[in-house]
Structure 1
Amino acid sequence: MNEIQPIKWKKKFFTIAIGQTVSLIGSSAVQFAMIWWMAIETDSPLMMSLAGLVAFLPQLILGPFAGVWIDRRKRKTVVIAADLFVGLVAAAFAIVFFIGSPPIWSVCLVLGIRAVGGVFHTPAIQALIPMLVPSQELMKANGWSQFMQSGAFMLGPVFGAFLFGAFSMPVILLTDLLGAVVACTTVAVIKITEPKSNSSEYPNFKREFQEGIAVFRADAKLLHLLINAAISMIFFMPLSSLYPLMSSSYFKVNAFHAGIVEFLYAAGMMVSALVIGQFFQKTNRLRLARMGIFWLGAVTLLCGILPASYGFFWIFAGLCLIMGACGNVYGLPVMTYMQETIDPKSLGRAFSLLGSVMSLAMPLGLLIAGPCAEKLGVAFWFLVSGVAIVAVTAVMALYDRK
């Protein structure tokens, strides 16, 4: 699908990947600090769910249109603009914190505005990778990329916990802008040959959105797997907003312990990314992805039945390590499969549409998860999520065997 000189692609790929990793460390630290600040201020699963809902709404609303726009523009320009946008939003909020203590709703607002940048950045960078990497090396490159990103997710919360205890929020927020500048610089210096687009034509969003849907309808096995994942994410994705409360309210531990949980989750992602990228290049992509979803549900179920004591917190932390690994067992094969099989000119809208569908799962799940966790506890939702994911995956696997 792409003709790239095998000697030069690694230098270009790693230059961009390193810059993105630096940016992600700053963003993860800021995200952790903001969420932990909100958890301490409110101690409310409902407010945490609301914050998660606001953060996912931009993808749900703008995602389909963003994909069409990305395919009509240079992905390189989109990546730079999105990175800078997120960094500048953080810098603006730093000024608000410097002036005085902002209301809780303002944190939700900033999380939502920052997410707008991600709506454009994530599918653009995913569509950019096949332009840098030979087709036969995509699984390995995605593994390296995810390995570095997981390292950023691992260091980010630890860095965020350190910053939260040592510095004021304005200083913490400014680290996001610094990381964005580094990422934009590394992308700017790399020459990338992009496919020709019909950017001169007036966009027909309805038609091009339907073309994005047609990409998935043309591949029944991929479509079934993504339906499986979308239903599972309705139950799993709200946990990202409830994670801090599992540490602070259920196990009664502090920000340091919460950072350890995030660290181990990212460590699981990091190790699995390297292993999958190096040793599973010839494995059936979609079968491996479904296995990842199943084990993700099984581990989530186990988290939900742990007693609320300090000793069991460490078992919870260990399960989070496995949970992070399971996420990559699903995500990496699906991303690689799409990059290998979908026309590069449609990749932006395909990844954007996929992101929108997955983002739809977040508000749907939060409508149930927030009130449920508020009344019955955060651990109960872990249990419900695990049971639902295992059941849905088993049913879909049986359906595909017919």
Structure 2
Amino acid sequence: MNETNHLKWKKKFFTIAIGQTVSLIGSSAVQFAMIWWMAIETDSPIMMSLAGLVAFLPQLILGPFAGVWIDRRKRKTVVIAADMFVGLVAAAFAIAFVIGRPPVWSVCLVLGIRAIGGVFHTPAIQALIPMLVPSQELMKANGWSQFMQSGAFMLGPVFGAFLFGAFSMPVILLTDLLGAMAACITVAVIKIREPEKSGTEYPNFRREFKEGIAVFRADPRLLHLLINAAVCMVFFLPLASLYPLMSSSYFKVNAFHAGIVEFLYAAGMMVSALVIGQLFQKTNRLRLARMGLLLLGIIILACGILPADYVFFWIFAGLCLLMGACGNVYGLPVMTYMQETVAPESLGRAFSLLGSVMSLAMPLGLLIAGPCAEKLGVAFWFLASGIAMVLVTAGMALYDKKAG
């Protein structure tokens, strides 16, 4: 690759990535403000849980169908439309605040509607990256992208807290629209070579959904790893809801300490994104991803056996830094492998189907984790989750090794 082409793809990639990061900071800030407003208004764990569940449902229900549409349309158009949809939903909610005081349950409704945009946006942008980046640079580019996204997730709540204290809700909500417009402009100005479409006829969702499944069935190693990951996510994803309880109930520390835990988790994601992208470009993708799942299970298990003592809280915080890092050790190689091996015209369906399967793990896990943690303690769920993830991952690795 000559120097001119090298600079050309980098310019395109970073133009879009920076725009998406700005949009993500705005969306994360607005989401924080909406949830914080609902928490103040209701002080209800049930409403907070309902809000989280509603945000997951669109991916679960629409994901497979969204992938079919993404592969039938220009990815560039889908990304712009999805970004603007989310921004306009926030703007409409801002108008509702100007007109009068909306009911608290409307936050759940808005979170669910906004999530519809994400159902289309995430797989479309993942499928778009291979059209900009040379295949040998995909791991590095995904690392940069994840680094910026992790930074956005760190800055978003901080920005949201500042906005919540300084401005009214209508003003806060409009920042989402401004961020979406910035992201759309950066995508619109970049020329992208789209893959050839198989046809312009109305999509046959049943047939094309099966074609999406066939992508994974055609690659048994990838399929087995994703089954492994889906089972692990049933145990791992509920931990996000239990994190605050480890700080407040188990270690009995305050909100400042809980914030440190969240910060370190995101910092681990940021650092690992750069390291993996730069140093592991030639490593076996699926082997690295499985190692990430195994390490994640070991770290979670270690969290579960820590004594409930203030000194050990800081060990827990350090383990959370490693936990954030290991999430990327799994996620980045899988994304890169799919971008490298799946046909461009099927990438949208593949990523959407993957997102739907993983999103199913959250409600399933919560149904198990909630009663278990309530009865046996939150630390026990960390311990049980870690053991389950280690056993499942090790067992699947042995099965694949015997299968050859």
Please confirm whether the aligned pair reaches a TM-score higher than 0.5, indicating the same fold.
yes
The whole-number CA distance in structure 2 between the counterparts of 1:168 and 1:388 is 46
Aligned to 1:360: 360
The whole-number CA distance in structure 2 between the counterparts of 1:157 and 1:256 is 14
Cα gap change, 1:94 to 1:262, in 2 (>3 Å) = farther
The whole-number CA distance in structure 2 between the counterparts of 1:177 and 1:256 is 31
Per-residue deviation, 1:388: 1.8
Q: Is the 8 A contact 1:67 1:120 kept in 2?
A: yes
Alignment of 1:304 onto 2:343: no
1:214-233 to structure 2, matched below 5 A, reads 214-233=214-233
Q: Alignment RMSD, CA only?
A: 2.4
Cα gap change, 1:317 to 1:92, in 2 (>3 Å) = farther
Q: Aligned with 1:197: secondary structure?
A: coil
Q: Aligned with 2:281: secondary structure?
A: coil
The whole-number CA distance in structure 2 between the counterparts of 1:162 and 1:302 is 35
Cα gap change, 1:246 to 1:102, in 2 (>3 Å) = farther
Aligned to 2:34: 34
Of the structure 1 ranges 297-306 and 324-333, higher mean CA displacement relative to structure 2 is found in 297-306
Question: Which letter does structure 1 place at the counterpart of 2:30?
Answer: V
Of the structure 1 ranges 287-296 and 165-174, higher mean CA displacement relative to structure 2 is found in 165-174
Question: Which letter does structure 2 place at the counterpart of 1:17?
Answer: A
Aligned to 1:82: 82
Q: What are the superposed Cα offsets for residues 28-47 of structure 1, whole Å, 9 maximum, x if unpaired?
A: 22233334445555666554
The whole-number CA distance in structure 2 between the counterparts of 1:389 and 1:344 is 32
Q: Aligned with 2:111: secondary structure?
A: helix
The whole-number CA distance in structure 1 between the counterparts of 2:127 and 2:24 is 18
Per-residue deviation, 1:267: 1.1
Q: Is the 8 A contact 1:39 1:245 kept in 2?
A: no
Q: Is the 8 A contact 1:46 1:374 kept in 2?
A: no
Q: What are the superposed Cα offsets for residues 243-274 of structure 1, whole Å, 9 maximum, x if unpaired?
A: 34545555565655444333221211111010
Q: Is the 8 A contact 1:150 1:267 kept in 2?
A: yes
Cα gap change, 1:258 to 1:135, in 2 (>3 Å) = same
Question: Which letter does structure 2 place at the counterpart of 1:54?
Answer: V
The whole-number CA distance in structure 2 between the counterparts of 1:92 and 1:244 is 32
Q: Is the 8 A contact 1:228 1:393 kept in 2?
A: yes
Question: Which letter does structure 2 place at the counterpart of 1:325?
Answer: A
Aligned to 1:149: 149
The whole-number CA distance in structure 2 between the counterparts of 1:328 and 1:279 is 13
Q: In percent, how many aligned pairs have the same letter?
A: 88
The TM-score with structure 2 as length reference comes to: 0.91
Aligned to 1:106: 106
Q: Aligned with 1:6: secondary structure?
A: helix
Cα gap change, 1:19 to 1:170, in 2 (>3 Å) = same
Alignment of 1:62 onto 2:62: yes
Aligned to 2:332: 332
Aligned to 1:186: 186
Q: Aligned with 2:6: secondary structure?
A: coil
Aligned to 1:317: 317
Q: Is the 8 A contact 1:57 1:363 kept in 2?
A: no
Question: Which letter does structure 2 place at the counterpart of 1:179?
Answer: G
Structure 2 unaligned regions, length at least 5? none
Of the structure 1 ranges 54-63 and 317-326, higher mean CA displacement relative to structure 2 is found in 317-326
The TM-score with structure 1 as length reference comes to: 0.91
Alignment of 1:401 onto 2:377: no
Question: Which letter does structure 2 place at the counterpart of 1:237?
Answer: L
Q: Aligned with 1:195: secondary structure?
A: coil
Per-residue deviation, 1:230: 0.3
The whole-number CA distance in structure 2 between the counterparts of 1:22 and 1:308 is 39
The whole-number CA distance in structure 2 between the counterparts of 1:43 and 1:28 is 21
Cα gap change, 1:380 to 1:173, in 2 (>3 Å) = farther
The whole-number CA distance in structure 1 between the counterparts of 2:314 and 2:173 is 30
The whole-number CA distance in structure 2 between the counterparts of 1:114 and 1:226 is 27
Q: Aligned with 1:202: secondary structure?
A: coil
Aligned to 2:261: 261
Cα gap change, 1:216 to 1:304, in 2 (>3 Å) = same
Question: Which letter does structure 1 place at the counterpart of 2:343?
Answer: D
Of the structure 1 ranges 34-43 and 262-271, higher mean CA displacement relative to structure 2 is found in 34-43
Aligned to 1:49: 49
Instruction: Report how many residues are paired.
Output: 399
Q: What are the superposed Cα offsets for residues 152-179 of structure 1, whole Å, 9 maximum, x if unpaired?
A: 1122223233334444444433322221
